[in-house]
Amino acid sequence: MLTFLMIGAHPDDMDTLAGGLAMKLIDRGHRAVFLSITNGNAGHMSMDKDALRLCRLKEMADAGAVLGLQYDTLDLDDGYLTADIPTREKLMRYIRALRPDVIITHRSCDYHPDHRACGQLVMDCSYLVGVPLFCPDAPAMRKPPVILYSEDEFTLPAPFRADVSVPCDKYIDRKVQATLRHKSQYYEWLPYDGHWTEVLESRTEEEATERLQERLLRRFAETVAHFPAGFPEGTHYGEVFQIDEYGGPMTAEIRQAMEG
Ligand SMILES: [Zn+2]
Report which of 20, 6, 1, 2 is spatially closest to residue 149, judged by C-alpha positions: 6
Give the model's pLDDT for residue 163.
98
Buried b (16+ CB within 10 A) or exposed e, 199-223: beebeeeeebbebbeebbeeebeeb
Note whether 45 and 187 are within 8 A (CB): no
Span 80-93, mean pLDDT? 98
Q: Number of folded domains in the chain?
A: 1
Span 198-211, mean pLDDT? 97
For 154, the domain range is 3-259
Q: Note the pLDDT tens digit of each residue in 154-176.
A: 999 999 999 999 999 999 999 99
- Structure confidence at residue 260 as a pLDDT band (50, 70, 90): confident
Contacts of residues 46-53 at CB distance under 8 Å and 24 or more positions apart, as own/partner, are: 46/188, 47/184, 49/77, 52/184
We report the CATH number of the domain holding residue 248 as 3.40.50.10320
Task: Find the 36 Cα to ligand 1 centroid distance in Å.
Answer: 9
DSSP-derived pairing of the beta strands 70-76 and 102-105 = unpaired
Q: Note the pLDDT tens digit of each residue in 169-200.
A: 999 999 999 999 999 999 999 999 999 999 99
Give the model's pLDDT for residue 89.
98
Task: Find the 14 Cα to ligand 1 centroid distance in Å.
Answer: 8
Span 37-56, mean pLDDT? 98
Does residue 132 have a cis bond before it (omega within 30 degrees)?
Answer: no
Asked if residue 251 has pLDDT above 90, the reply is yes
- Please, which residues have CB less than 5 A from ligand 1, an ion? 9-10, 13
Span 63-90, mean pLDDT? 98
Task: Find the 139 Cα to ligand 1 centroid distance in Å.
Answer: 30
Task: Find the 163 Cα to ligand 1 centroid distance in Å.
Answer: 22
Asked if residue 44 has pLDDT above 90, the reply is yes
Task: Find the 137 Cα to ligand 1 centroid distance in Å.
Answer: 30
Asked if residue 129 has pLDDT above 90, the reply is yes
Residues of the chain above pLDDT 70, percent: 100
Task: Find the 239 Cα to ligand 1 centroid distance in Å.
Answer: 17
Span 115-124, mean pLDDT? 98
For the chain, give the mean pLDDT. 98
Task: Find the 37 Cα to ligand 1 centroid distance in Å.
Answer: 10
Span 39-62, mean pLDDT? 98
3-class DSSP assignment, residue 221: helix
Task: Find the 10 Cα to ligand 1 centroid distance in Å.
Answer: 5
Residue 212's H or E segment, with its range, is helix 205-226
Task: Find the 80 Cα to ligand 1 centroid distance in Å.
Answer: 12
Give the model's pLDDT for residue 115.
98
Asked if residue 62 has pLDDT above 90, the reply is yes
